[in-house]
Structure 1
Amino acid sequence: MWALAAPMIASNLTVPLVALVDSTVAGHLAHAGQLGAVAVGSAVYGLPIWIFGFLRMGTIGFAAQAGGRRDGDALRRLLVQALGLAVGLALLTIGLALPLLGPLLQLMKPSATLDALTRSYLQIRLFGLPAALMNAALAGWFLGMHRPRLALRVTVLTNLANIALNLLFVLGLRWGVPGIAAASACGEWLGALAGLAAIRGQLQRFPGHLHPSALRRWSAWRPLLGVNRDILIRSLALQGVFFAVTVLGTRLGDTVVAANALLLNGLMVAAFALDGLANAVEALAGHAVGARDGNALRRALVVAGGWSLLGSLAFALLFALGGHAFVDLQTDIAPVRAVAYAYLPYLAVLPLVGVWSYLFDGLFVGATRAREMRDTMLFAGAAFLALATALHPLGNHGLWLAFLGFMAVRAGAMAWIARRIAHRGGWVAQAR
């Protein structure tokens, strides 16, 4: 479990590092417009990265199941499909984004300097998008193959290359904002090349052949595309809930929405760390389903459930005992601090409630049951809206109670569906 989880926890926690390095370098340039351009450009560039996050999640389960069956042909076909989708979606995005940059930026009404610098940043940074999406697909494939250290290696190489090239292009060659974009794009391509170079060694463990004729059949694409579609809908619904929390908090005042944002940062830190255990479950559950090994599946869930409980307890204690320090690290604005302190108990409870949905996500992803993930997320999102409406008179307390209810309903609905599947013959018996 920890051989899989530890590298993924480390990898998850480095996710925001590229944007952090870029903004830090930009923050030491001559004027604020340069930092603003990198901030806006990174936010726009991050949209397709987030939207196409299914390239990783959708690949893990199929790769793990093929590995459990020792099916080298399926592993090769899946790899080509995932990389093909990554490149195709990247080229489509670039083709749409370049002509739409002008109208998109005009919606933000930037200054002339900010507009020009942001365009320059994005026009260069987008050339790294194919590599970034390939890295996501490769990360899913490597984790499904029980090789999380390869995914971590690619992430570390990408980040180190980004740091080194930022120093060269920006501080050495004085390229400014274009240099920051070029450093990030080059780092992503170096990471992708390292990942592609590692493929051959992994395939040697699973003898087989790639059959081009299979790639021309719709039946070979339908399962992967169906899972990716459902994961996309699920992710959009999840982000919709977070967006609703921000919008509803905004209506309660600037201080409230700022305090809520600080507390949600704590939830994101806990989620990134606990997701490492969910990633391990994805790989182990998928392998067990592919091998039709019910005992291995139960062991994975029991061990991951125990460690997830301990991890959530640790974060609950961290926020309960050190919550004031966590808030103080993020702001020195006294009114925001005071409001955040008042709602810290909700943050302390959240890891204990939310961890179970992360665990079930791992099970459903590994078993390639994205449809059930989609349905439970939509149901939980509807429950959040109902609770937020009913509890509106309680103000921000009602909003936090509605969010806690959303996390509880999400976990409960997934547990109920998991139990139904088990009663119908078991996850392993219904492997697809």
Structure 2
Amino acid sequence: MSEPAPSRSSAPQGSTRELLRLAGPLMLSNLAYTAVGFTDTLLMGRLGVVEVGAVGFASLCLLTLVLLFRGSLNTASTFAARALGAGDRAGVGRWASVFLGCALVGVPLALLGPALVDGLFALLRPDPNITAVARTYAHIRVLEIPLVLLGTVALSVMVGLGNTRTPMLLAWLVVVVNALLAVLFIFGLGWGVAGAAWAAVAAVGLQNALAVALLWRLHGAAYGPFRLARPTRSELGRLVRVSVPVGFTELAEVGAFTVFQGVISRLGPTELAASQIANQLASLGFLPAFALASATGSLLSRALGAGRPDIATRIGWRGTALAAGLMGVLGALFLLMPHALLGLFNRSPEVLALGTTVLAIMAAYQILDGVAIVLGGALGGAGDTRFRLIVTLTGAWLVMVLGAVWLAPRYGVTGAWGSALVFIAFAAVAYAFRFASGRWTKLRL
């Protein structure tokens, strides 16, 4: 079923209800993605401490390989939302087609994937036991990259058009399919870590293939036809100015975190497992924050397309306040019940002790992280993407990574995660000052 194109007067109002209506399904989508990670971590916990750390480490390395492209392609929502706010139906279809065409970069990336993964492992030099397990997992999962990039565009365009329900349903499909196949492959067929990888490939591939098909079915009549299109010189210039910095920002941030985890992995399997489990728990805080960031960026971009910077400003601050409040609750849970949370994954006394320390540090930065995530998303929705790149390069690499390299050998995981706390505080303050300046309201896509 298709939908009619909106008129130019259909600008968002910036109400809390409107923001939550768009963000709500995205929160459930993020919960689904976290549930996939929880499932894999729980199942790996039944195999051993090395498997828990190795699969988490391999997943980060894979994410690092695709983030430049996936992050750039995710800005399809910004362009679609800006065209929607301006009442430009043809513009929505054109930008969707351009981004779908760019997503074909996933084919050569998948072919080069195994060699790139091996090169990344050689560079990071984790514990040899971790490397052996992580390599098996990563070499299988590179096969999903082409569909992931096409699906990224389809899902991003849907969010830009205000359709967050379909991405939510597809995300939960992944949870169910991945869980069923993982249990079958890992334990039923005895494939171990390779079984977890094949289950993920099947589930993620199905999700993204359906996303592309549903984009055509649900929105093709109103905004299509959607094709695999090459960008014109003018469009390419806009992509380089707005989209590419987002890809580099996400690559820089997750790449920094990958190196950060690599530093921790050199401390030993127990330290890596404790950090990985704590990070899985912290991802619960990312559910509302990243959902609100996506919703805030989409509504803000639509408001700017309709010529209403006042509404865009209200949307940005309101989304930030909501995220800070929700993540503050999670921080309190980390302080009040760390052993109960960590014990869901592993009850090793050493893992529990180290994980409790990591959770205490994470509790300290939950509110700041909510501010940084949502205001970063708001600036991205406005097209102010180069500033985000500068903040990430400065904070993630100079503060977090170099700080961890110096502190981890001296103070263990406590020192490493302390450097992450300083980085997040720096990003929150920088984004708050930038958004308050209002310079982003004058940017054009």
TM range (shorter): 0.7 to 0.9
Range moving further from structure 2, 339-348 or 145-154: 339-348
Alignment partner, residue 319 of structure 1:
334
1:408 aligns with 2:425: yes
Deviations 1:84-138 (A, max 9, x none): 121x211111332477789999999999xx89x949x956x65543222111111
What letter corresponds to residue 149 of structure 2 in structure 1?
Answer: L
Do the aligned partners of 1:77 and 1:210 also contact (CA within 8 Å) in 2?
A: yes
Query: Pick from 83, 95, 117: which aligns with 1:66?
Result: 83
Counterpart for residue 290 of structure 1: 305
Give the alignment's TM-score, normalised by structure 1.
Answer: 0.78
CA 1:100 to 1:176, structure 2 compared with 1: closer, same or farther past 3 Å? same
State the 1:247 CA deviation: 4.9
Look up the SS of the partner of 1:53 in the other structure: helix
Indicate if the aligned counterparts of 2:84 and 2:92 stay in contact, CA closer than 8 A.
Answer: yes
418 and 171 in structure 1: CA distance in 2 versus 1, 3 angstrom threshold: closer
CA distance in 2, matches of 1:346, 1:19: 22
Paired with 1:398 and 1:108, the residues of 2 have a C-alpha distance of 19
Match of 2:29 in 1: 11
Q: Which moved more, 1:184-193 or 1:75-84?
A: 184-193
Q: Which runs of 5+ in 1 are unaligned?
A: none
State the Cα distance separating 1:391 from its structure 2 match: 6.8
Q: What TM-score does the superposition give when structure 2 sets the normalisation length?
A: 0.76
Structure 2 unaligned blocks of 5 or more: 1-18
Distance 1:317 1:20, change over 3 A: closer
Mapping of residues 345-364 of structure 1, within 5 Å:
345-364=360-379
Is residue 299–residue 312 contact of structure 2 (8 Å, CA) maintained in 1?
Answer: yes
1:132 and 1:237, CA in 2 relative to 1: closer, same or farther beyond 3 A? closer
Task: Note the C-alpha offset of 1:257.
Answer: 5.0
Other structure's SS at 2:441 match: coil
- 1:235–1:216: structure 2 CA closer, same or farther, 3 Å change rule? closer
| Compared CA separation, residues 46 and 305, structure 1 to 2 (3 A) | closer
Counting only pairs closer than 5 Å after superposition, residues 154-303 of structure 1 correspond to structure 2 as 154-162=170-178, 184-200=200-216, 201-206=218-223, 215=230, 217-249=232-264, 256=271, 258-303=273-318
> Which range is displaced more, 64-73 or 94-103?
94-103
Residue 166 of structure 2 is matched in structure 1 by 150
Cα deviation, 1:19-59, whole Å, max 9, x if unaligned, reads 66678889999xxxx99999998777655444533145322
Q: Is the 8 A contact 2:61 2:120 kept in 1?
A: no
CA distance in 2, matches of 1:36, 1:341: 17
Change in 2 beyond 3 A, CA 1:309/1:122:
closer
* Deviation per residue, 1:210-258 (Å, 9 max, x gap): 899x945211122124433212322232234424543554566765555
Q: Which amino acid aligns with 2:157?
A: W
Check whether the contact 2:375–2:432 (CA below 8 A) recurs between aligned residues.
yes
- Deviation sequence 1:338-396 (CA, Å, 0-9, x none): 34334543222120221111011211221122111101112223244676688789725
Q: Distance in 2 between matches of 1:358 and 1:89?
A: 27
**Aligned counterparts of 1:16 and 1:311: Cα–Cα separation in 2:** 17
Q: Give, in angstroms, the shift of residue 156 of structure 1.
A: 3.0
1:366 aligns with 2:384: no
Range with bigger deviation, 279-288 or 392-401: 392-401
Structure 1 residues 384 and 37: CA distance shift in structure 2, 3 A:
closer
- 8 A Cα contact 1:289 1:431, kept in partner: no
Decide which structure has the larger Cα Rg and report it: 1
Residue 6 of structure 2 corresponds to: none
Structure 2 counterpart of 1:431: 444
3-state SS, counterpart of residue 70 of structure 1: coil
Q: Distance in 1 between matches of 2:158 and 2:379?
A: 18
User: Which deviates the most, 62-71 or 389-398?
Assistant: 389-398
| Correspondence 1:383-422 to 2 at 5 A | 383-384=399-400, 395-396=411-412, 397-420=414-437, 422=438
Cα distance in structure 1, aligned partners of 2:317 and 2:53? 47
Q: Is the 8 A contact 2:400 2:423 kept in 1?
A: yes
Distance 1:225 1:152, change over 3 A: farther
Q: Mark the CA change 1:138 to 1:285 in structure 2 (over 3 Å): closer, same or farther.
A: same
Which letter does structure 2 place at the counterpart of 1:8? L
Matched to 1:147, the amino acid is: N
Q: How many residues align?
A: 418
Q: Which residue is 1:136 aligned to?
A: 152
Name the CA distance, whole Å, in 2 between partners of 1:373 and 1:61: 15
Which position in structure 2 is the counterpart of 1:96? 112
Give the Cα separation in 1 of the matches to 2:238 and 2:326: 34
Q: Is the 8 A contact 1:41 1:122 kept in 2?
A: no
In 1: Cα distance, 2:406 partner to 2:205 partner = 49
| SS of equivalent residue, structure 1 residue 395 | helix
Shift of 1:64: 1.2
- Pair 133,323 (structure 1): closer, same or farther in 2 beyond 3 Å: same
8 Å contact kept, 1:288–1:297:
yes
Residue identity over aligned pairs, in percent, reads 23
